[in-house]
């Protein structure tokens, strides 16, 4: 899950450093055992930086570069709709409306309504207005704390407790009112983010486009969001690796075989820092403003819809093992793998370990 989008301009300088590492990781996690595929078409691939992550689209059964270009055009389009940091985006306009109504696109309306349904499902344990709190935290810097050389004072990266308490007081998804395409954030100090669901929606739109172009074998990799279009060119399932938490080499802790499915992972290991030997990660409890504390390190959701998978991976990570497992078992066509803090794997009943 990614709670916050960052603009490409603020992250672009990292691309040259991140791409080689993440592309190799993506190759391991998203396309294991592709050797031996029978295909007369040379795979084509394209990588770029969107939504604060490196994304890669790989197509195995066409050499039409225009298909890749259109997928990246969709990435550009949706970043300009959903990013809270790009001035003029629908989300940016909502966050800067000072309580006034804003007209948004049909797709933004749909995604907001879908996001709110997960807020309702969890009674606010998922809350898209937690962005007000998220903006106080910085999980991107390399060190947990720095030292002011002039005074030798240790500068903590943990936000001031009073600032967190104030920000939490503005967190309430009920303050977002949708009437048609008119959106009103009635709490002027509130701020929303669609980071826990937007990449899944974007992956689904890319898949829909590729299918319209008769693509039958492709992988859409939006960071932790993997979406298989069809199967390998030889009609066997793709094999996706699930990353071992905190493993810097991207070593898989297990693998899954899928065709035409979404595999979305969220984990406390995606953005984090340690301070005084305490782990602080980017998945925040909207009630406290601090990172969620439970036994889970990661959750992977297998589903037809990447939108659903994206939202559920975060939802289950917040709910914890017992309640998350109950939720997935109550849903048709959805499976999950939970990783607890002892690195044990817990599977829902539809998955064979």
pLDDT digits (tens, 9 = 90+) for 292-307: 999 999 999 999 999 9
Report pLDDT digits (tens) over 105-164: 999 999 999 999 999 999 999 999 999 999 999 887 544 445 455 555 557 889 999 999
Domain 8-84+196-347 -> CATH class = alpha beta
Domain boundaries, the chain: 8-84+196-347, 90-185
Contacts of residue 68, defined as CB under 8 A and 6 or more positions apart, other chains included, come to: 44, 45, 46, 57, 59
Q: Are 302 and 316 in contact (CB under 8 A)?
A: no
Indicate the class that CATH gives domain 90-185. mainly alpha
**Which of 232, 203, 255 lies closest to 74 in space, CA to CA?**
203
- pLDDT tens per residue, range 162-218: 999 999 999 999 999 999 999 999 999 999 999 999 999 999 999 999 999 999 999
Cβ neighbours around 243 below 10 Å, total:
23
**Closest to 187 (Cα-Cα) out of 174, 178, 200, 202:** 174
Q: Do 8-84+196-347 and 90-185 fold alike per CATH?
A: no
Query: Can you give the pTM of this predicted structure?
Result: 0.86
Q: What average pLDDT does the segment 321-344 reach?
A: 97
């Amino acid at each position: 899950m990614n709670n916050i989008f960052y603009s490409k301009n603020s992250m672009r300088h990292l691309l040259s450093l991140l791409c080689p590492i993440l592309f190799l990781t993506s190759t391991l996690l998203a396309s294991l055992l592709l050797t031996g595929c029978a295909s007369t078409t040379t795979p084509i691939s394209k990588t770029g930086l969107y939504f604060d992550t490196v994304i890669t689209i790989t197509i195995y059964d066409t050499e039409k570069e225009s298909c890749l270009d259109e997928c990246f055009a969709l990435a550009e389009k949706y970043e300009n709709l959903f990013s809270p940091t790009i001035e003029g985006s629908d989300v940016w306009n909502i966050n800067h409306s000072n309580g006034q109504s804003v007209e948004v696109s049909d797709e933004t309306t749909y995604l907001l309504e879908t996001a709110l349904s997960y807020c309702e499902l969890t009674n606010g344990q998922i809350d898209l207005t937690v962005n007000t709190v998220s903006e106080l935290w910085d999980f991107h810097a390399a060190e947990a704390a720095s030292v002011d050389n002039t005074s030798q004072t240790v500068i903590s990266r943990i936000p001031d407790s009073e600032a967190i308490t104030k920000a939490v007081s503005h967190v309430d998804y009920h303050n977002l009112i949708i009437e048609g395409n008119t959106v009103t954030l009635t709490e002027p100090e509130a701020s929303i983010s669609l980071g826990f669901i937007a990449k899944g929606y974007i992956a689904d739109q890319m898949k829909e486009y590729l299918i319209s172009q008769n693509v039958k074998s492709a992988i859409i990799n939006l960071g932790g969001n993997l979406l298989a279009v069809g199967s390998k060119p030889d009609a066997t399932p793709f094999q996706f690796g699930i990353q071992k938490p905190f493993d810097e080499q991207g070593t898989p802790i297990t693998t899954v075989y899928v065709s035409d499915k979404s595999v979305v992972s969220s984990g406390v290991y995606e953005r984090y820092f340690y301070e005084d030997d305490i782990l602080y990660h980017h998945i925040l409890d909207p009630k406290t403003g601090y990172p969620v504390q439970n036994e889970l390190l990661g959750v992977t959701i297998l589903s037809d819809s990447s939108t659903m998978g994206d939202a559920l991976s975060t939802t289950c990570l917040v709910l914890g093992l017992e309640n998350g497992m109950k939720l997935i078992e109550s849903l048709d066509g959805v499976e999950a793998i939970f990783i607890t803090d002892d690195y044990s794997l817990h599977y829902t009943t539809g998955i064979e370990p």
